[in-house]
Structure 1
Amino acid sequence: MESLKKGIQTLPNYSVYKMSLIQYVLASFIGITAMCLVGYLFYQHWLGVFVIGLIGFHYPRIRTKELLNRRRSQLTTQFKQALYSLSSSLSAGRSLENAFKEAIHDLTLLYPGVDVDVIRELRIISTRMDNGEPMEQALLDFSIRANQDDISNFADVIVTCKRMGGDLIEVVRRTSSVISQKMDVMLEIEVLVAQKKLEMKAMMGAPFVFIGLLKLSASDFLMPLYEGAGRMIATVALLLLFFGIWLISRMMDIRV
């Protein structure tokens, strides 16, 4: 158990994502620039630009979440491919240990020239097995770091079969088939939701684009917005827009 904890600390953790300095600076620049433009559109005053621009510092956190979700989604897809390879190898009569090693070769052909996460994890598992470490412990380590139900379920099946006995190859083959089918359904749902997410982004940006076009084509029409009670109305409208964006984002944040 102590070695397992040390492994978790040194190997990749797929529950967190740390942006590089370049990524953080770029995300901050994009967020601050976008918010400054919003502040200028709604207030046309340096104070409004400054205050609204400060909101842009929150964008790196949003971008980090997006990159983390993308990495976890890619890991799910890659793990599904690994399960296909494992099932094929087991059906051909290979042992489970050799099936993991064969999966590295199959996925290298599927992702040529790319060091994807699942290939790196399979190599780690293979290396730990070569060093005499139990396969189930290496898999359990991976499942803890991945923090995904399907990977955890697969690791639990391996651990249970190793401890309780039984036809390990047949159980793993059937489990791989069930998990792969579940992942196929999840990917279909993601495809269906993707179009709605694109529409969501268009809806969020439409009000700002509309005001920008009005400012370019009929700036006199917006002049009452930048003086007197117009600034209060602009503030209320902006708060409602931000609330609407937050609400739509929450509604479309579908966990599959």
Structure 2
Amino acid sequence: MMMWLLLLIAGGGSWLLLLYIERRKTTRTKQLIEPSLDHKASALVPFIDYNHYDLSSKEQAYAVLLLAVPAFVIGYIFYQNVMLSLAFSATGFLFPKIRRQQLIHKRKHMLYVQFKQALSCLSSSMTVGKSIETAFREAWEDLKLLYPDPACLIVVEFGLICRKVDNGEPIESALKHFADRSHLEDVQSFTDVFLTCKRAGGNLVEVMKRTATVITEKLEITQEISVMIAQKRFESRVLVIAPIAIVAVLAFSSPDYMEPLYKGSGILIMTVCLFLLGACYALTQKIMDIKV
């Protein structure tokens, strides 16, 4: 019993440690190369496809442990068998794919928020009569002041656009390349309208202001929804954790009472219960994933 308790405490402590490291971990965009002032150095800056994210070996191992450790603890609570718990913890190898999607979503949301600020800088420059190319360069300088981190996504992207323009590439082509890689609907819509206004003539300043307003409204609605469902999200996690805690308490306090569930058909019952808990958690996450 003491070994079982120590194993449970060690597993829970490892899980909490991994979660703490995750919160303190900086984004992988720190690995991007700082844009150089040399035009020829633009080739050194990688083009990011925001629908793809390659996990490093360290990140893959971290993602596996992030699920494997709590899965082992939960498996031991429900089965009290090391081999079955190890088999259950093997589900951690499925988590890197989920983790990759989480990082992609996080990076795209970060770019989306920064793009709204970039549009404000562009409209300010163009309001005073600056050309489009000059407005992009001044917006890049303003963004470097707003985001001192040289690995900031929007700073890197605007730096690439400015360098392409300096090297003789049309700004329409450079902006289109950025929009295609961003895979963000509002960025692509803005680019299409920008190209139309550039070719046929139009009020680019008004287009930028309108796009910035739409993005701001979407962000405000998303934030309001997040606040509204925060309590429900917490309740859903409690409802998933509560049965596990109850089983653990009963296993500690009344091992004879729980013994039939750890042998014979009891293992099947425990497996069904785990499956239902996992299905409930997945369903609640899907319900609360509200897209604006």
TM-score, normalising length from structure 2? 0.77
Runs of 4+ in 1 over 6 A off after TM superposition: none
Determine helix, strand or coil for the equivalent of 1:18: coil
CA contact (8 A) 1:144 1:152 kept: yes
How much does 1:44 deviate? 0.8
Report the residue type matching 1:227 in the other structure: K
Correspondence for 1:228 among 252, 258, 264: 264
Code of the aligned partner of 1:56? G
Matched ranges for 1:12-23 at <5 A: 12-23=48-59
Query: How far apart are 1:248 and its partner, in Å?
Result: 1.4
Contact 2:52–2:104 (CA under 8 A) maintained in structure 1: yes
Once the two structures are overlaid, the 10-residue window that deviates more, 112-121 or 137-146, is 112-121
Deviation for aligned residue 1:155: 0.5
Contact 2:67 2:95 in 1 (8 A): yes
Are residue 131 (structure 1) and residue 167 (structure 2) matched?
Answer: yes
- TM-aligned CA deviation for residue 130 of structure 1: 0.8
CA pair 171-55 structure 1, distance change in 2 beyond 3 A? closer
Cα distance, 1:43 vs. partner? 0.7
Counterpart in 2 of 1:72? 108
1:243 maps to which residue? 279
Contact 1:154–1:176 (Cα < 8 Å) also in 2? no
Report the alpha carbon displacement of residue 171 of structure 1 after superposing the two structures with TM.
3.6
CA shift, 1:195, in A, is 4.6
TM-score if structure 1 supplies the norm length? 0.86
2:96 matched to 1:60?
yes
The separation in 1 between residues aligned to 2:209 and 2:268, in whole angstroms, is 64
Question: What is the SS of the residue equivalent to 2:55?
Answer: coil
1:6-56 residue CA offsets vs partner (Å, 9 max, x unmatched): x9xx61000111111111111112222221112111111133213212212
Structure 2: distance between partners of 1:186 and 1:91: 30
2:289 counterpart residue number: 253
- Specify the SS of the correspondent of 2:53: coil
| Partners of 1:14 and 1:147 within 8 A in 2 | yes
Q: Indicate the residue corresponding to 1:207 in structure 2.
A: 243
Which residue number in structure 2 is paired with residue 149 of structure 1?
A: 185
How far is 1:207 from its partner?
Answer: 2.5
Q: Residue 152 of structure 2 aligns with which residue?
A: 116
- Matched position secondary structure for 2:126: helix
Matched to 1:150, the amino acid is D
Structure 1 unaligned runs (5+)? 1-6
Report the more deviating stretch, 58-67 or 47-56: 47-56
AA of the residue aligned to 1:102: E
Alignment match, 1:162: 198
Q: Is the 8 A contact 1:197 1:252 kept in 2?
A: yes
How far off is 1:191 after superposition? Answer: 4.2
The equivalent residue for 1:3 is none
Structure 2 distance, partners of 1:197, 1:94, is 48
Paired with 2:223 and 2:168, the residues of 1 have a C-alpha distance of 37
Number of the residue aligned with 1:44: 80
Q: State how far apart, in whole Å, the 2-side matches of 1:48 and 1:183 are.
A: 45
Query: How far apart, in 2, do the equivalents of 1:228 and 1:140 lie?
Result: 62
Aligned-residue identity in percent: 40
Give CA-to-partner distance per residue, 1:109-148, whole Å, 9 cap, x none.
2222352111100000111111111111111111111011
Compute the RMSD of aligned alpha carbons.
Answer: 2.2
Contact 2:150/2:156 (CA < 8 Å) preserved in 1?
Answer: no
Q: Are the equivalent residues in 2 in contact too, given 1:95–1:169 (CA < 8 A)?
A: no
Question: Structure 1's 177 and 33: CA in aligned 2 closer, same or farther, altered over 3 A?
Answer: closer
- Give the Cα separation in 1 of the matches to 2:172 and 2:148: 28
